[in-house]
Amino acid sequence: MPFSFSHPYAINPSFSKRVAYFCMEYAMHQSFKVYAGGLGYLAGSHMKSAHDLQQNMVGIGILWKYGYYDQVRKSDQTMDVLFQEKVYGFLETTDIRFTIHISGHPVWVTAYYLPPSVFNTVPVFFLSTDLPENDYLAQTTCHRLYDANPEAKLAAAVLLGEGGAKLLDLLNWQPDVYHLNESHALPLAFHLYKKYKDLSELKKHLVFTNHTPEEAGNAKSDLHFLEKMGFFSGLPLTEVKAITHTEGDVLDHTASALHLAGKANGVSKLHQQTMIRMWKDHGDICPIQSITNAQHFNFWSDKDMYAALDRDDDAGLRQHKHNRKKLLFEEVSDQNGEIYNEDVLTIVFAKRFTGYKRPELLFHDMDRFVKMVTSKDRPVQIIWAGKPYPLDYPSIGVFDQIAHLCKSYSNCAILVGYEMKLSKLLKGGADLWLNVPRLRHEASGTSGMTAAMNGAVNVGLPDGWFPEFARDKINSFVIPPCDTCLHDHQQDEQDATQLYDLLENEIIPMFYDFPDRWLQIMKQGMRDIVPQFGSDRLAMQYYDELYS
């Protein structure tokens, strides 16, 4: 029987507009490894809240045969990259077949269906070219998320953008709004322009979210290379250059999305301001607003801790935190062979390893680092975790540097396998969650949100989402910001000094000498993180402001 689709749950009339959400990655559950990091965590939480609110939304993604990668260790404890085939019995085959054109050749595409009942998300379709009808090169289009090969990366963009639009046509589910979550699926815009044959009509249906000010996340490509790959759905280059306001032979993907969409948003108030500054010289871009990222409270929060908080049971809250630390420390012991103490202040740095997030900032002053980690009166335990991009050798080098350093200190550990399961363990077991991005480089960041939902106290620089939440020494600790006009090494030096001053003079003494005061900050953070940074707010705000 041919696959037929109708939205499987009753739609809330407040959210009746049909929305198709296009994203390269989704973090919905530990077992479903089609995500890399923050973008996927955000998309997964959005899909869960959209389901909870019964919104009329469908997600479109790619079924990555080998996922992002599995983070494993070499024989000397340093990091290694493993690509291993993934098999998912919970996905439904659709037997849908259609073709897209990549590099002048027809490529067969099928789709797999994730029903809402599996992970409590909206219905999501995952595209695949891993079919016997295709040659091996075409099959590899869906093999690796964020493949480093430029042709593979653009082929995936065509698959998600054009392939997703064609799938919706075949399902006879016509969206009122197409949401381009990052510019990865930009071929969608050109496909729709060819369909509507009118730029103003396209703008009525297309919205765009940008997630990073980093240059590496805002791609630029040669127009002729893009044309060869089939990026423009057969549109002539003269038309492409006209509608994207492109001069010369290089297409700016983010700028093009801002020219072709009717509305766009940044993912924090600060990021909105950064986007407006970055693109102010590009005439005729769409309005840019801010919709701050958020995370799914029911999935990420510690229910026992919130139950204790609601009944004002401080002893119970402390005990639940103690229990969560014990669970985390079992993982530390398993991976690193260290026995951690639940009564010791535990500092966690866990997020994507990349230069601007500065996982090595604590090493900027090694004398102070050694003094802190060897203290007997007020001991600390430190845990690092995070997955670098598999070909980001400088960031892998930082990971390996930390791995070697941890061998010298029984209270320092670095963990591999930073995915959803480990992320939840770390947030439950952390006393202090460290966020130290180089200022004005973090668009939003969300790990600190879910850390607060698990009773971890945030310490961070006022970047991304953090200024919208942080009340210094009330619900978190704010590191005084440096002058962003300074050179990077000067910023690093000042930020490291301020961080150590805060740790040595306020945070560590408070944890040991004023435990009730610490508990009040922890409790206030748990209260303040909801509902503003729960993804129900985000899902409603997208409907009210971006999709309207």
Q: Which domains does the chain have, with CATH numbers?
A: 17-295+536-546 (3.40.50.2000), 302-529 (3.40.50.2000)
Closest CA to 240 of 283, 186, 287: 186
Of 213, 197, 377, the residue nearest 279 (C-alpha) = 213
Q: What is the reported pLDDT for 1?
A: 55
Residue 176's CB is within 10 A of a number of other CB atoms, namely 13
The first and second tokens of residue 299, run together, are: 């999935």
Q: Give the span between the Cα atoms of 429 and 302, in whole angstroms.
A: 11
Preceding amide of 531 cis, omega within 30: yes
What is the reported pLDDT for 282? 87
- Those residues with Cβ within 8 angstroms of residue 116's Cβ, 6 or more apart along the chain or in another chain: 8, 9, 51, 122, 123
Asked if residue 508 lies in contact with residue 432, where contact means CB atoms within 8 angstroms, the answer is no
Q: Beta strand pairing status for 79-82 and 70-73?
A: antiparallel
Query: Beta strand pairing status for 432-435 and 476-478?
Result: unpaired
Segment 369-399, tens digit of pLDDT: 999 999 999 999 999 999 999 999 999 999 9
Report the 10 Å Cβ neighbour count for 245: 16
Low-confidence residues of the chain: pLDDT under 70:
1
Q: How much is the pLDDT for 217?
A: 86
The mean predicted confidence, pLDDT, of the chain is: 97
Q: Looking up tokens 């303040």, which residue turns up? A: 528
CA pair distance 386, 38, nearest whole angstrom: 11
Beta-bridge partner residues of 59: 21, 124
- The secondary structure element, H or E, covering residue 379 is none
